[in-house]
Amino acid sequence: MNLETMLYEKDGRVGRLTLNRPRLLNAMNYQGAVDLNRAAEEIRDDTEARVVLIRGAGRAFCTGIDLKQLSGGETPVAYYESWDRALRILEHSEKVLVCAMHGYALGGGLQLALACDIRIATGDCQMGLPAIREGIAPGLGTLRLPRFVGLGRAKRMALSGENVDGRRAFEIGMVDHVVQADTFEEEVDALVAQYLRVCSEGTRQTKMLLNMSFDMPHGQFFEEYLRRQRIALASPDHQEAMAAYRDGRDPAFRA
């Protein structure tokens, strides 16, 4: 896949998507939105990768929309449509998406992280939705952020444009793991391996159910749960888990 603003690589069952405009702190222009769509489709359709790590090259994860392009009137409305389309593809893929943030994760960068399943950040990483300072709305961060931190905290962040650091983000539920900046690579790789070890058909079904948890009434959700639980129970991964339990060993999942 030939992408101008990012790289997608494979290492067995792990995919790695790296935002790659390091001189601009991985600020994303319209081409970045196009590339993210192509990468998201590749990730969704990849039959081998089970966990995908998303991170940024250089000194930051992503500072969001390219302000030079925006201030020059060169950012079409299609940018916003395309960016969120890519986030929805990623959000609804069966892969476990792990986002590793350092430096800055602002605007569209934080929106991308919120569309992932697991968020990792260094303690000093600065995260926020500064769109209000540019006189625009912070995308569907307005939908996703309240689900993690509550409506009150989401309003404060979005309406003030203030940042929070990684430690505070962990305290309010926006980040799942805080790591040290000087051991960032090692700790991120260890966490990716941790999630990969338990990745099974049950993982697929669990992610899909969690994605629906705010959008269905109880009865409908329960029927969907039963349907997906039957799929998990009939899978080779469940049989392997039970065999591993009987043998007193860790399961080796294949999904």
What's the domain range around 218?
201-247
Residue 131 scores a pLDDT above 80: yes
Helices (H), the chain: 30-45, 67-71, 77-92, 108-114, 141-149, 151-160, 166-171, 184-197, 201-212, 218-233, 236-247
Amino acid 254: pLDDT: 83
Phi-psi region of 115 (alpha: psi -120 to 50; beta: other; left: phi over 0): alpha
**230 in the same domain as 123:** no
Backbone Cα Rg of the chain: 19
Is residue 175 within 8 A of residue 123, CB to CB? The reply is no
* Domain CATH number, residue 142: 3.90.226.10
**With 80 as the cut, is the pLDDT of residue 210 above it?**
yes
Q: Looking at residues 2-21, what average pLDDT do you find? A: 96
User: Does residue 144 sit within a domain?
Assistant: yes
Please report the pLDDT score of residue 255 as a whole number. Answer: 65
Span 47-75, mean pLDDT?
A: 95
User: Do 206 and 192 share a structural domain?
Assistant: no
Give residue 51's pLDDT band: very low, low, confident or very high (50, 70, 90): very high
Q: Is residue 254 part of a domain?
A: no
Residues of the chain above pLDDT 90, percent: 97
Mean pLDDT within 25-41: 97
Residue-level pLDDT at 1: 78
CA dist., res. 87 & res. 85, Å (int): 5
pLDDT tens per residue, range 162-207: 999 999 999 999 999 999 999 999 999 999 999 999 999 999 999 9
Answer yes or no: do 52 and 109 share one domain: yes
